[in-house]
Structure 1
Amino acid sequence: MSDQTEVFNLEKIYNHHDVEERWGSAHWEELGSFHAESSRVLETGKEPYTVLMPPPNVTGSLTLGHVLNHTLQDIFIRYSRMTGKEALWLPGTDHAGIATQTVVERKLKKEGITRHDLGRKEFLGHVWQWREEYGDLILRQLRRLGISCDWRRNLFTMDEGASKAVINAFITLYRDGLIYRGTRIINWCPVSQTALSDEEVIMKSRKDSLVYIQYALVSHPGRFITIATVRAETILADVAIAVNPADPRYTDLVGELAIVPVAGRYIPIIADDYVDIEFGTGALKITPAHDANDYEVAKRHNLPILSVVGKDGKMTDEFGYGGMDRFVAREKILKDLEELGNLVRVEEYEHNVGYSERADVVVEPYLSEQWFVKMKPLAEEALQVVNDGEIRFHPPHWINTYRHWMGNIRDWCISRQLWWGHRIPAWYDSEGKVWVAASYEEACHLAGTDKLVQDDDVLDTWFSSWLWPLTTLGWTEKQSDNDDLRAFYPTDTLVTGPDIIFFWVARMVMAGLYFKGAVPFRNVYFTSIIRDMKGRKLSKSLGNSPDPIKVMDTYGTDALRFTIIYIAPLGQDVLFGEEKCELGRNFATKIWNASRLVFMQREKYFRDHEEFAAVYLNFDPSSVTADLAGQWLLAGYHGMLERYHTAFTQFRVNDIVKNLYDFFWRDYCDWYLEALKVRLSGELTREDAQQTVCLAVYVLEGTLKALHPVMPFITDEIWHQVLQRSAEESIALSPMPLSDSALAGIDLRGFSLIQKVVTEIRSLRSLFGVPHGSRAEVLLRPTNEGDRLLLQTNLALVAALAQCNPQLMDGGERPPHAAGSVVEGNELFVLLEGLISFDKECERLQKEIANVSSYVLSLQKKLSNGGFADHAPADVIAKEREKLREAGETLEKLKSNLAVLSD
């Protein structure tokens, strides 16, 4: 590394593999670049800035969603660190209860072993062994992405401290009356044999049969009431038929009894507002053990509850279907209903159905005894702090989703029928009485007996995740305060996906307020959804999700980071194709080549690093007065910085990246570096040349610092070449440049005029097909003495940038065969004689005029056609008129160009 810093310039070709290996996470970690200390906040008053890593599943591997999410976090944290804050990024992973248990059980199954063969203790030993061997893959991949966490603080949700926090939180909520055990309808996975959170249920479109079944009325022989259902197998558990009280079709039937087909059971017809008059027949079978909404209806009407589907997804009825798979039973009962004469008709019906995320089977709504958290008491204050602006959402429209969830909140089922996870700290005595305690010994003390059996269930993974802002800073409830909590809580920015506003964001707000009395974070940045180029969400099943590691190997990590932020405006979906990373790779190459060019100029005017450092470290950019392009660059640079810092305060990260890209590529490279060559080729003193080079390096270094949060590797590499810096230094710890309003306000009109003249000459050359290698003669007729002096002084610059031989003219006639234009009142003429074939160009223009004229005529006829004009939609007509306008302008330009050549 030390040899590398002796080089006065960069390697000729940019090699992202070498650069990323040299300045990767291992190097930064070794330096301690990303360590944050509470003492620097508490003792010196340094402003803290804290980011929470949404803990990826321990079973996970890097996806493009991770790349976007973690790059955004890294940008916020690196920027804050460079602007002088004590920036702490807290990393960690989630034990992912059902996902991890599924992976290990699958592994054991290949060996012919089940977890029940091993027993709980030995099985958990296998899980921990798997976690040690494979569980940190995603963290290694995140390091490859270059993220700047304080890795010393890496937390696993099953670590001792986090586990204590979970248990203490459960006990506190239970003793406060906010946790209870009860029987409710929950999501049940028949394969994994556990309750599922809504987040673990994936909605998929599925085609089923919507069947219409008639139920005979007890008191009206020969009369029926017909219902529509997709779950014919559950009619065996029907306890009522519900109709809407406002539905006149059934008013006279409310209170009557109907006969359940096959089962032969009498059930009442009831009235309830829940029933949708428009769906099916407007009559709804009520099966409370197999539908959450039916369960609520049953409670309102004091109806019994019957169940006919077991935990394994097989029928448990006494009508001949017992032991059948639920879907097999569905087909069988349809045949039986048809034979009995109860099947009216069958329609194909496409609807969304919940599937278990891990087992990929249809989830069964299941009536089960589980542990729940009362959510309404927790939700009220959590909603208030968002409404009051204590927590801000970016973009703000997600507040409406948050309000909807919080206003319609239900109690949270927190128990899972798994072995991997935080075991519920509840013990039962011989009478079934529950004793909640932190340990078996404490439970025995409370119960007055040692004949206790612990609950088999574990807690929902989200029960540990909702404590994440607290546990990452050392909170355990009993250890409710420490230096880290005092320094870094509340945290500042949470970056997460909008799909877990309720499952995670809202619950963290509740936990922070309940256990710590303060919001857990001040800002929530919701990421975009990444889709493929066809607009489909990325998924392994579709095969449209690129492997980020391969993308980084091909294009470079900086290129991937830059690209994914460049194409991700706040609040909009991202269409990603791997080939889009060409944008980031080309930009990285542009940065490299531009830096090499500047360093080459440095080699010409400075003997070595020492001489350059002596001049550069004393360089005053405000002293640049004689260099028109330099003044223009300074104004643009500080204007860019002003927009850059403003965008950070507004969480417009996409604007930050585009601002940097436009400034560096267009202003610095396309204009200033070309102007730099012209200036240095003129008659300058050695001191003036050195000052000019220092200006180029000054703006380059400042831009590298502004780019560093987005592209950390290449910027650290080049920054080390600006001065002779050691490997123990890092751009990550250097101060972020600030905008100077005085420099940003420099009058830009002078260089702006030169730019416009050059751009117009280039445009005319292109318009008339002047070959690229030909130097055109250009005449400039200034409109006033001020512009004459400006143009005269900068003729060499115009000549170099526009590839022409410019001269000033005083008056006289317009030169023949010249393409002319006017820029801010100043006339310019590009002499075409000898540069192009007039005959060929005239022939080409005449053909093009004929084609465009024909097109204009067809549009005019179409718009004048009464049939089209009277019946076509307004937007279609507007588009056709716009086409006519554009075609008319093109035709006028072509005729004008032909006139020039025919003069």
Structure 2
Amino acid sequence: MSDQLSNANLDKTYNHHEVEQRWSSAHWESLGIYEAESARVTEGGKEPYTVLMPPPNVTGSLTLGHVLNHTLQDIFIRYQRMQGKEALWLPGTDHAGIATQTVVEKKLRKEGISRHDLGRKEFLDHVWQWRDEYGGLILRQLRKLGISCDWRRNLFTMDESASMAVKHAFVTLYRDGLIYRGKRIINWCPVSQTALSDEEVIMKQRTDKLVYVRYPLVKRPGEYITIATVRPETILADVAIAVNPDDPRYRDLVGELAVVPVAGRHIPVIADSYVDIEFGTGALKITPAHDPNDYDVAERHNLPLISVVGRDGHMIDDFGYKGMDRFDAREKIIVDLEERGSLVKVEEYEHNVGYSERADVVVEPYLSEQWFVRMKPLAEKALDAVNDGQITFHPSHWISTYRHWMENIQDWCISRQLWWGHRIPAWYDTEGKIWVAGSYEEACHLAGTDKLVQDEDVLDTWFSSWLWPMTTLGWTGGHQENDDLKSFYPTSTLVTGPDIIFFWVARMIMAGIYFNGDIPFRDVYFTSIIRDMKGRKLSKSLGNSPDPLKVIDTYGTDALRFTIVYIAPLGQDVLFGEEKCELGRNFATKIWNATRLVFMQREKVFDDMDSFRHAYEAFSFDSLSIQGADRWILGRYHRMLEAYHHAFAQFRLNDIVKIIYDFFRGDYCDWYLEALKVELAGSSHDEAADRVCLAVSILEGVLKVLHPVMPFLTDEIWHHIIDRPLDRSIAKTAMPHPDPLLVQEDISAFTLVQSIISETRSIRALFSVPHDMQADLVIRSSESEAILCFNQFSEIISSLTKCRVSITENGERPPSSAGAVVEGHELFMPLKGLISFEKEKVRLEKEISNVSGYVTRLEKKLSNRGFVDNAPQDVVQSEKEKLAEAAASLSKLKANMDVLSE
């Protein structure tokens, strides 16, 4: 063995720490292999492919959700890069308005300081300082995951160019009549003192008191109308009682007046189809300043608006509760209602209640003056883009969810009562008139005065995010078109979670069409939701969310990437347990060990690396003249490639990892490499050289198709195949494609041999023939072609079954032999001398007794009409399948006993 070839070998044991450190993101980035240039599209004629990274929050740290999402994006981008496209992955982070401000305010509180003590400018200096110090954590962690972004283009949503785009978008929409300022019900966080988007509201199950209260009818002494509410403190703000017009119980009360308990206000009884007849008493108190649905009812009926809960969650009424916490007021008013004789009863009631994601307090529906975007004019074209197939959703069932939301879209509250974020570009003069402009100077010019005060609020974080497909490519507003926009917009694929289909995906489509005249992306891949092994969503509060960095340290990045995609079918939830990563780690180890085996065969055939390199570089499948297992693996390999590329085209990334896994573990390792060892022993030097080159070539092909999933391991082994400089990477090689002729290659001969071997192994297992004992195998066939096939592969059959093989056309069945039939060909294995017949009979009798008892129990269960008629159909079917399987096993056991009893 030459030293040169020996040095090219892999270490005996796969060590993911060493491999992943050697092929770090920093090394790959230094090679520039992730960098994409518009010139290569416009001048070089390369086809562009663009992936848009959903910007993680600057406050964030790596989660399993990030791992799944970014691994999928990395697979898409690496695959297309190896397809020869100019592949651009645009990275960035989101300023995360409320989250970041909350983190910094919490830090300041520990120092005894509030943001109001500092003032706006100094507070924002603290936020920027925090962002510069800690805001890059998530990106460093993503690099550890091996993702292949063009990091030169990393964008922060508060960068100057992105801020220019945000101002332009706001001013344009305002001047086009699509942004307005008005009073509406919004989600309000009493702790953070800001409006919240729906995405920042977490629904939690909560048990509250359902309070039944009776309202006296003004003109009907002694008569009442009873309502049920979980928010009795808002009774003080009631402006009407609504009943369903189809409810016969209340039809004669519509138009009557009722008295609000405690408040003493007279309010009308109105009819509105919004009311649910089945809930409570079927009569609903209308409190439009504290419920968005009630607000809509009030608008339809021209009702007044009364507020009794303030910005801080404390009461602001004039009925004796002022200054009390809203929940304390709730308890007190229940007592007061009972004392006044207005309380009918109180029940426990479980329901979902919105909580502020950051402050973890119950959100208050709050009537306040905010900035809004009129969404219906924007939604029409965005809906058409998906309905017409300009944008494709994967899986497609999310279209109906998207369509429902777009057809019922509400105006978007875009103002936030924060200091961190894009400040609203609106100024007020001394008379309160609004001047919207791109700058203070422009606003002064429009107003004709410099006595202007800028709006204190900032924009919803999503207002910068909806421009992301454009701002990441340098768009700052207007109809500008730089080279990057020309080359890479629209982007190709967006990978995101279905939970933000409204907040982000739909809005990006609207913004892209409105501001840039084209859709922002062609395909949207919605990821799975990751749950624990009990089916619960991962969360810090449940303590069921593993730290991905610890998982990576234990199992390796490649193992985690492989596993999380392997267990994530398109459109289905993922049940993740850390131990599942053993699948990925074991597969990485299998690849490593199989490669070492192939390299050992290489050493036996070639004297040094130069001679192998010469043979390998001259080798081609077309020149291969040998048959047998080599032709079979070649056909299987090209079938694998065909299935692999087809799965990519169908966005079934879960399938691609299974396709590679099944081919490599099954076809390549379990069958081909075992056959290779046998065939090499009887080959001439030239044949052996071809066979080794074929084995290495297919191995390299597998590494290439696997590289998008497991980049570290594949680059490491690729460099060991032949001496390759460190400034090269498998990431820049061409992706192999199937040869249509080889896909159609007739591989039936070796497939038949596989069946013979599998059945022979089954016979040995059934009769407990010791693994290390040589047996005899007689193959009887009347087909001349099959006999030629069995003779051709007799050495392989012998080696892989540990049998002396004899082939006959019409010989007698050997005495005391186990038998089987494979595609009409008979197999016989004489058992005398291999096993103790008496011990085997005792074992079989015991097994027959156990299986017979099991069959009897199943038959009795399925003959019970009570079970069959009342059990779910799938349960009954499962029991029938168990019976059929058990009956087949029993039949086989009895046949084996017959053999031993001959």
Coarse TM-score class (shorter-chain normalised) = over 0.9
For the residue of structure 1 that corresponds to 2:8, the secondary structure is: coil
Structure 2 spans left out of the alignment, 5+ residues: none
For the residue of structure 1 that corresponds to 2:618, the secondary structure is: coil
Deviations 1:57-91 (A, max 9, x none): 00000000000000000000000000000000000
Aligned residue number for residue 389 of structure 2: 389
Q: For residue 866 of structure 1, report the CA deviation from its aligned partner.
A: 5.1
Aligned residue number for residue 781 of structure 2: 782
TM-score of the aligned structures, taking structure 1 as reference length: 0.98
Query: Aligned AA for 2:774?
Result: R
Query: Aligned AA for 2:309?
Result: V
Closer/same/farther in 2, CA of residues 775 and 427 from structure 1, 3 Å limit: same
Q: What is the distance in 1 between the residues matched to 2:132 and 2:869?
A: 73
Structure 2 residue 814 is matched with structure 1 residue 807: no
Deviations 1:276-325 (A, max 9, x none): 11111011000010000111111111111100000000000111111100
Moved more, 850-859 or 217-226: 850-859
Deviations 1:761-810 (A, max 9, x none): 10111111111221211111122221112111221111111122212234
TM-score of the aligned structures, taking structure 2 as reference length: 0.98
Q: What is the distance in 2 between the residues matched to 1:179 and 1:720?
A: 57
Aligned partners of 1:74 and 1:709 also within 8 Å: yes
Q: What is the distance in 2 between the residues matched to 1:802 and 1:412?
A: 70
Q: What is the distance in 2 between the residues matched to 1:551 and 1:882?
A: 39
Aligned partners of 1:8 and 1:603 also within 8 Å: no
Closer/same/farther in 2, CA of residues 879 and 730 from structure 1, 3 Å limit: closer
Identity %: 73
Moved more, 882-891 or 203-212: 882-891
Closer/same/farther in 2, CA of residues 724 and 293 from structure 1, 3 Å limit: same
Closer/same/farther in 2, CA of residues 302 and 85 from structure 1, 3 Å limit: same
Query: Aligned AA for 2:814?
Result: P
Q: For residue 885 of structure 1, report the CA deviation from its aligned partner.
A: 2.5
Structure 2 residue 417 is matched with structure 1 residue 412: no
Aligned residue number for residue 296 of structure 2: 296
Aligned partners of 2:478 and 2:515 also within 8 Å: no
Aligned partners of 1:5 and 1:726 also within 8 Å: no
Q: What is the distance in 2 between the residues matched to 1:505 and 1:210?
A: 38
Query: Aligned AA for 1:549?
Result: L
Aligned residue number for residue 470 of structure 1: 470
> 1:433-452 maps to which residues of 2 (within 5 A)?
433-452=433-452
Aligned residue number for residue 86 of structure 1: 86
Aligned residue number for residue 584 of structure 2: 584
Aligned residue number for residue 699 of structure 2: 700
Aligned residue number for residue 210 of structure 2: 210
Q: What is the distance in 2 between the residues matched to 1:446 and 1:752?
A: 82
Aligned residue number for residue 688 of structure 1: 687
Query: Aligned AA for 1:823?
Result: V
Structure 2 residue 121 is matched with structure 1 residue 118: no
Aligned residue number for residue 173 of structure 1: 173
Closer/same/farther in 2, CA of residues 724 and 242 from structure 1, 3 Å limit: same
Moved more, 212-221 or 885-894: 885-894
Deviations 1:601-660 (A, max 9, x none): 112222222211111111021232323100001101111111111111110111111000
Aligned partners of 1:51 and 1:90 also within 8 Å: yes
Q: What is the distance in 1 between the residues matched to 2:125 and 2:389?
A: 46
For the residue of structure 2 that corresponds to 1:309, the secondary structure is: coil
Q: What is the distance in 1 between the residues matched to 2:525 and 2:158?
A: 27
Query: Aligned AA for 1:677?
Result: K
Structure 1 segments (4+ residues) deviating >4 Å: 3-6, 865-877
Query: Aligned AA for 1:428?
Result: Y
For the residue of structure 2 that corresponds to 1:835, the secondary structure is: coil
Q: What is the distance in 1 between the residues matched to 2:856 and 2:655?
A: 43
Q: What is the distance in 2 between the residues matched to 1:735 and 1:866?
A: 63
Q: For residue 680 of structure 1, report the CA deviation from its aligned partner.
A: 1.1
Aligned residue number for residue 751 of structure 1: 750
Aligned residue number for residue 141 of structure 2: 141
Q: For residue 148 of structure 1, report the CA deviation from its aligned partner.
A: 0.3
Q: For residue 128 of structure 1, report the CA deviation from its aligned partner.
A: 0.4
Q: For residue 255 of structure 1, report the CA deviation from its aligned partner.
A: 1.0
Aligned residue number for residue 128 of structure 1: 128
Closer/same/farther in 2, CA of residues 532 and 867 from structure 1, 3 Å limit: closer
For the residue of structure 2 that corresponds to 1:206, the secondary structure is: strand
Moved more, 686-695 or 543-552: 686-695
Q: What is the distance in 2 between the residues matched to 1:176 and 1:399?
A: 29
Q: For residue 180 of structure 1, report the CA deviation from its aligned partner.
A: 0.5
Closer/same/farther in 2, CA of residues 24 and 182 from structure 1, 3 Å limit: same
Q: What is the distance in 2 between the residues matched to 1:134 and 1:803?
A: 62
Query: Aligned AA for 2:690?
Result: Q
Q: For residue 872 of structure 1, report the CA deviation from its aligned partner.
A: 5.1
Q: What is the distance in 1 between the residues matched to 2:417 and 2:245?
A: 40
Aligned residue number for residue 334 of structure 1: 334
Deviations 1:500-545 (A, max 9, x none): 1110000000000000000000000000000000000000000000
Closer/same/farther in 2, CA of residues 492 and 7 from structure 1, 3 Å limit: same
Closer/same/farther in 2, CA of residues 6 and 419 from structure 1, 3 Å limit: farther
Moved more, 686-695 or 534-543: 686-695
Q: What is the distance in 2 between the residues matched to 1:6 and 1:443?
A: 75
Query: Aligned AA for 1:540?
Result: K
For the residue of structure 2 that corresponds to 1:801, the secondary structure is: helix
Structure 2 residue 373 is matched with structure 1 residue 373: yes
Aligned residue number for residue 897 of structure 1: 896
For the residue of structure 1 that corresponds to 2:536, the secondary structure is: coil
Q: What is the distance in 1 between the residues matched to 2:422 and 2:670?
A: 59
Q: What is the distance in 1 between the residues matched to 2:328 and 2:5?
A: 72
Aligned residue number for residue 201 of structure 1: 201
Structure 2 residue 370 is matched with structure 1 residue 343: no
Aligned residue number for residue 69 of structure 1: 69
Aligned residue number for residue 572 of structure 2: 572
Q: What is the distance in 2 between the residues matched to 1:707 and 1:4?
A: 27
Q: What is the distance in 2 between the residues matched to 1:615 and 1:601?
A: 14
Deviations 1:829-875 (A, max 9, x none): 11211221111110111122223223333333444445555655555
Aligned partners of 1:5 and 1:720 also within 8 Å: no
Query: Aligned AA for 1:317?
Result: D
Q: What is the distance in 1 between the residues matched to 2:690 and 2:872?
A: 63
Q: For residue 4 of structure 1, report the CA deviation from its aligned partner.
A: 11
For the residue of structure 2 that corresponds to 1:617, the secondary structure is: helix
Aligned residue number for residue 766 of structure 2: 767
Query: Aligned AA for 1:786?
Result: E
Count residues with an aligned counterpart. 900
Aligned residue number for residue 236 of structure 1: 236
Aligned partners of 2:186 and 2:413 also within 8 Å: yes
For the residue of structure 1 that corresponds to 2:599, the secondary structure is: helix
RMSD: 1.4
Q: For residue 576 of structure 1, report the CA deviation from its aligned partner.
A: 0.4
Aligned partners of 2:780 and 2:811 also within 8 Å: no
Deviations 1:391-441 (A, max 9, x none): 000000000000011011000000000000000000000000001111111
Structure 2 residue 57 is matched with structure 1 residue 26: no
Closer/same/farther in 2, CA of residues 5 and 687 from structure 1, 3 Å limit: closer
Q: What is the distance in 2 between the residues matched to 1:532 and 1:61?
A: 19
Q: For residue 886 of structure 1, report the CA deviation from its aligned partner.
A: 2.5
Aligned residue number for residue 882 of structure 1: 881
